[in-house]
């Protein structure tokens, strides 16, 4: 088992521990009941998505400055993982809304801005997939990724800027009891670890895809072959 496999197994184990904490350690909310437990993964996934899109932002800025293939690969990896976590955020939010608001979807400012965020970075991935790989495509995608990040603070501050159905901040307002707060912080940490591992794994996939394209084009390889840890002796 190499390092990435160990990291992936560790991230999954942490998420299982977080799930145990959510269902067996955190108390049941006296107003919302068991559906409140969605909160822990819902908010943690949103934070992980923001972190992934920050990777896209940083990768895009670095690429526009020095056209670093490494930065571009990290941007691609961050976008894909960010879209995954944004989708999880929306699905979990819709399940919560169905029980609390009586509908899976309302055109709430927080929900709508999150949907826009998903569309932006899904569009980013679509540009990368449909366009011919190369410098021009990478530069266009970098610009899309940078400007798309503007929607991240819009999502975060939407409950403060507009009248919404969505609950206001409960972490910074000390509204959570200690057990709930501890469970949320632990779940958030585990989710961030999972997101980081997923970005690194996707980065390695992007590297291998770049190498395959270089080989197919007959260009000289300038990307180092990713090293694998030696297999243990039998």
Domains of the chain with CATH codes: 3-164+175-217 (1.20.120)
Tokens found for residue 177 = 């009891």
| pLDDT tier at 172, thresholds 50, 70, 90 | low
Q: Residue 167 phi/psi, 5° resolution?
A: -60, 150
How many degrees, rounded to 5, is the angle at CA 139 between CA 138 and CA 142? 85
The arithmetic mean of pLDDT across residues 165-171, rounded, is 66
Cα(first)–Cα(last) distance of the chain, in Å?
Answer: 13
- Residue 50: which pLDDT band, with cuts at 50, 70 and 90? very high
**Mean pLDDT, the chain, integer:** 86
Among positive and negative, which fits the CA dihedral 197, 199, 205, 211? negative
Q: pLDDT grade, residue 49 (50/70/90)?
A: very high
pLDDT in tens, 82-134: 999 999 999 998 888 888 788 888 888 888 899 999 999 999 999 888 877 77
For residue range 180-228, what is the model confidence (pLDDT) as tens digits? 999 999 999 999 999 999 999 999 999 988 888 777 766 555 544 444 4
User: Is residue 162 very low, low, confident or very high in pLDDT (cuts 50, 70, 90)?
Assistant: confident
**Which 8-state DSSP code applies to residue 223?**
S
In 3-state terms, what secondary structure has residue 177?
A: coil
How confident is residue 41, by pLDDT bands cut at 50, 70 and 90? very high
Q: Which residue has the higher pLDDT, 221 or 37?
A: 37
- pLDDT at position 2: 84
* Continuous H helices in the chain: 3-20, 38-66, 69-100, 109-130, 135-148, 151-161, 178-217
Cα–Cα distances in Å, from 10 out to 13, 45, 82, 83, 193?
A: 5, 18, 20, 22, 9
DSSP string, 50-97: HHHHHHHHHHHHHHHHH--HHHHHHHHHHHHHHHHHHHHHHHHHHHHH
pLDDT of residue 62: 96
Q: What confidence category does residue 171 fall into, taking pLDDT thresholds of 50, 70 and 90?
A: low
As given in the structure block, the two tokens for residue 1 are 């088992």
Per-residue pLDDT, 184: 93
Least confident of 41-50, 66-75, 84-93, 164-173: 164-173
Residue 92's pLDDT is what?
92
Tell me the percentage of the chain whose pLDDT exceeds 90: 58
45 pLDDT band (50/70/90 cuts)? very high
Give Dmax over CA atoms of the chain in angstroms.
Answer: 65
């Amino acid at each position: 088992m190499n390092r990435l496999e160990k990291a992936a197994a560790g991230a999954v184990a942490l998420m299982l521990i977080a799930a145990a904490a959510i269902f067996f350690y955190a108390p049941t909310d006296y107003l919302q009941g068991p559906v409140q437990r969605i909160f822990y993964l819902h908010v943690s996934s949103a934070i992980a998505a923001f972190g992934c899109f920050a990777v896209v932002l940083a990768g895009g800025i670095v690429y526009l400055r020095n056209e670093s293939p490494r930065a571009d690969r990290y941007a691609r990896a961050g976008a894909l993982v960010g879209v995954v976590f944004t989708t999880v955020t929306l699905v979990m939010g819709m399940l919560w809304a169905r029980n609390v608001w009586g509908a899976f979807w309302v055109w709430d400012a927080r929900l709508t801005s999150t949907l826009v965020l998903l569309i932006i970075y899904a569009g980013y991935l679509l540009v990368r997939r449909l366009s011919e790989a190369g410098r021009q495509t990478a530069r266009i995608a970098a610009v899309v990724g940078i400007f798309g990040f503007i929607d991240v603070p819009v999502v975060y501050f939407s409950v403060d800027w507009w009248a919404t159905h969505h609950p206001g901040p409960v972490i910074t307002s000390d509204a959570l009891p200690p057990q709930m707060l501890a469970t949320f912080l632990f779940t958030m940490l585990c989710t961030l670890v999972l997101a980081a591992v997923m970005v690194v794994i996707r980065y390695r996939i992007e590297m291998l895809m770049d190498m395959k394209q270089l080989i197919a084009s007959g260009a000289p390889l300038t990307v180092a072959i990713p090293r694998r840890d030696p297999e243990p002796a039998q």
